[in-house]
Structure 1
């Protein structure tokens, strides 16, 4: 029987808040054809002429507001998740980042050095998107094919509607919902609309109808928008939140092309005038708190909301290394070891 091991993959962070480190990180991130998906010449021209000369300094300043003495919150959270999972299991657990350090390849090599011949890959992305889940999986597949083609790779599917994940979200967020509030906001990382269409196997269903995500369709297996709606709906049902008390938005857009709407920042500005002056905000697309949650939402988002007349802004942190989420991961590993999942 082949020895098993677990690889947890997350997005990644710069090595520090120094501008050169941030520039290096952004170059790797935005050179990914599944993130900035223009033809390579155009991609590199945009990256080198309009993004890298200006954005690293601004991004470095944003990172500096959330950086800790130990380093990046996302890296720390991922390491803490791995350590807690190790304490529950009798097989190796390593981490790898899609961009930056420690890399996915480093994570794979550590497992191989421990004699692992069957790797269970868990992308720390609940929802499918070409710029997150897909690119993380493809990267590890490439690494394994290159360095250890005889090693089996089994991949955890997106778990956006897994009852264990939804229950963990509800349990983790419940304390922030105990005091009175006007609205619960689910803010998900945005993606360009074209990514949705590219991920649609039919290239004809997604976004063709404003209510496409409310219907049942095979395209939903790779439809980010349908999956985040499913997570939100299931959470609300499980937590007993009526439809009029929750709303869904998309954050972190980049460039001028249309991204999924409605936009989080614009909605936060408008909420107080609509009578939503006490809100709870959560970001279920992220497992670990990071720049997009701590700086963009908990800091900038709160400031925007309060300046617009809001009275109470409560940010519910991501699952991070909560016991509820470690329970979920332990369940996934159990499925893997029982043969419920197939090799990639």
Structure 2
């Protein structure tokens, strides 16, 4: 039979052992939490990759209209050379319900992010399917109120499959700048808010419509943006999309918007602003040229510039152009005359 002293020693030893084990366990838990914390932090950093910046390079999508035009659109030698040049340039891909309807949009997005992963580049997409998106102008159309969120959810689900890829979405160009002309601002704001909610969960850098320097004043554009209730839920605004204003004017405009919107960021479309002589003309103005390649410029407000509107696609049936979005070899030739 053990003595009371031996029993006390065993109890004392057990207590010390428990204390030691508890300390060891605590240290291990802290270490595990630290590792998990680092992993999560890195995972989120990887998920959102890095904000667009000077040096960001996008893919040149295999689905671009320039590339498909090489196989499907009759062109002379000059048109083919211009189209081949533009097909090779990093440019955003436009997701539209006309070309990527419900049931196929997700497949397109998966392909785009797969290309970005393979090339170690960014995937940049323009989401352009808002109900009554262009208020009956050259790019009239868009989805119904019922179908739009279905389409957006399909795009969002596909974006979620690539947490390791830098993804950039320009959401509904012209949608905010045109809001006062289209009327029913609250309804339009609701569509955009629903889209931002879906896309924000995908680790994607989202830029909403910021108009351009020759359209609304910074005060008026900032007021429209504030009415949408989105600016605190996205990275910033996209300016000069599908337009021709100079980079100098757009930088100044982006800074003016940022001052009025609490320091928001911006990206600038330089795909067709090399000449910047169009003034307020926006529909296939003549004698324009491609601008600086994406990733050339940036500062504390402007994350960088990108080619958002694919050069060579028509703005609409004006100045001799075909329907909006159709590949136009003549425009491709004119826009690239100084770089080929």
Q: Is TM > 0.5 for Structure 1 vs Structure 2?
A: no
Query: More relative contact order in 1 or in 2 (CA 8 Å, sep 6+)?
Result: 1
Structure 1 length-normalised TM: 0.27
Structure 2 length-normalised TM: 0.27
* Larger gyration radius, structure 1 or structure 2: 2
More helix by share: 1
